[in-house]
Structure 1
Amino acid sequence: MRHRRIRLCLAALSVAVGGTGLATLPVSTASAATCSDIDVVAARGTFEPGTLGVIVGDPVFSALRKKLSGENLSGYAVNYPADLSPASAARGNADLVNHVRAQAASCPGQRFILVGYSQGANVVDNSLGISSDGAVVGSPIVATIPAALEPRVAAVLLFGNPIRALGRSVTGTYQSRTIDFCAKGDPVCESGGGDVAAHLGYTADADAAASFAAEKV
């Protein structure tokens, strides 16, 4: 029952975001063999518009450009449905890992900042080996970033992460490089939360997330 209520909430977010008037930020989208210093790999939230995601990905990328002005940044939008279908997060998981593997092979010096919002946080969790199975819009793990590439992941930035409502979080080797924002009352990441608007407010955390990432690069 709880998952059904939150899924309806996520579906409603597409309408809410459409009415915010938020602008999409133009970014340089990475393709295979684009060898920037840092590739910002962003998984958007359910039904979230924008290049990397209008609520989180785009503003975080903009903030990172300012904090890391001496670095050449590229952005990659994880290619997945970001809808309520059962396989959505799994498809994102596979695409994120495939992208990182391909980039790492083509660009030996490139590092990565992973960004995930809402369902996109499930995508990132799975890619790090932390299962989102059982979480709202979650899935079993289908791929993980190889251990040999783990040192090249500079930072992990998560927002409205559904696994937190289950008492889970990123642990292990990535823990010290991860910041995980959950707004008070956000029903997607806080068990018993009832403030739908809280799930739309993570743009306010973009600067803090970028500052955290800048310290890890």
Structure 2
Amino acid sequence: MPIALARSCATVDIVIARGTQEPGYLGAAVGDPLYGVLRAHLPVDTTAHRVEYPADLLVPSSVSDGTRAMVGHLSAQAAACPDQRFVLVGYSQGAVVTHGVLGSAAATALPGIWVLDPGLSPRIVAVLLFGDPLRLVGGAVAPLYADRTVNYCTAGDPVCAGGVFPTAHGAYGWAFTAAARHVDARL
């Protein structure tokens, strides 16, 4: 198992898998602005972690690399910070990574997927998915996490809704406050 170094034992660690070739530290379309909203709305201290993976459709192992990195971080943080809880965020390809980590059937069919130890499930406060490609094929999150997952898809988004408006795939600002409320209600 890969080892990730624990940075902080904040009450909640927000773990973000960005979209394909998305710029920004946590991701310019979703991760960076979403984390700003979460920090402003949540009544607890938080940290954010960028899942280090290629986020590139031309790298065949990109999704499996992402699952390995996310599982490694969550496992290390859980061991180092026994009271810390987690919010998992995935945008576009990052949503597929998150599905894989949670053991969703549509994602675990891919080669090399790392799945989170179900024993850590109680520490996952919420799962936030944006522009999730698996929505198009009916891919649902694993049942263990269904009650705490919200899957946002902008109307017209070709990636999650089969729409014809490519710019819709990057238009998720409308969902950030609702996502923060969802997380807050689960704390």
**TM-score, with length taken from structure 2:** 0.92
Of 167, 170, 182, the match for 1:200:
170
Q: For the pair shown, which has the larger CA radius of gyration, 1 or 2?
A: 1
Match for residue 161 of structure 1?
132
Instruction: Tell me how far apart the structure 2 counterparts of residues 59 and 96 of structure 1 sit (CA, whole Å).
Output: 20
Query: Which residue is equivalent to 1:117?
Result: 91
User: Structure 2: how far apart are the matches of 1:184 and 1:31?
Assistant: 39
Match of 1:78 in 2: 51
Q: Does the aligned pair in 2 maintain the 1:127–1:141 contact within 8 Å?
A: no
* Structure 1: runs of 5 or more not aligned: 1-29
Tell me how far 1:171 sits from its aligned partner.
3.8
> Quick one: distance in 1 between partners of 2:148 and 2:107?
23
How far off is 1:169 after superposition? 1.5
2:173 counterpart letter in structure 1: T
1:32 aligns with 6
Q: Which has the higher contact order (CA 8 A, sep 6+)?
A: 2
Tell me the equivalent position of 1:16. Answer: none
Moved over 6 A (4+): none
Residue 107 of structure 1, aligned match among 51, 59, 81: 81
| Aligned length, in residue pairs | 183
Q: Residue 90 of structure 2: SS of its match in structure 1? A: strand
Structure 1: distance between partners of 2:26 and 2:91: 10
Secondary structure at the counterpart of residue 174 of structure 1: helix
- 1:102 counterpart SS class: helix
What is the rounded CA distance, in whole Å, between the counterparts of 1:139 and 1:201 in structure 2? Answer: 28
Selected match of 1:170 from 111, 132, 141: 141
Cα distance change of structure 1 residues 161 and 109 upon mapping to structure 2, 3 Å threshold: same
Residue equivalent to 1:180:
151
How does the TM-score come out when normalised to structure 1? Answer: 0.80
Q: Percent same amino acid at aligned positions?
A: 45
Counterpart contact for 1:126–1:141, Cα < 8 Å: no
SS at match of 2:44: coil
8 Å Cα contact 1:38-1:73 kept in structure 2: yes
Deviations 1:109-150 (A, max 9, x none): 00000000000000100000014449xxx9446211111110
The unaligned stretches of length 5 or more in structure 2 are none
CA RMSD of aligned residues (A): 1.8
SS of 2:99's equivalent in the other structure is: helix
What amino acid does structure 1 have at the position aligned with 2:66? Answer: G
Q: Which amino acid aligns with 2:154?
A: A
Contact 2:5 2:76 (C-alpha < 8 Å) held by counterparts: no
d(CA) in 1 for partners of 2:106, 2:156: 20
The equivalent residue for 2:185 is 215
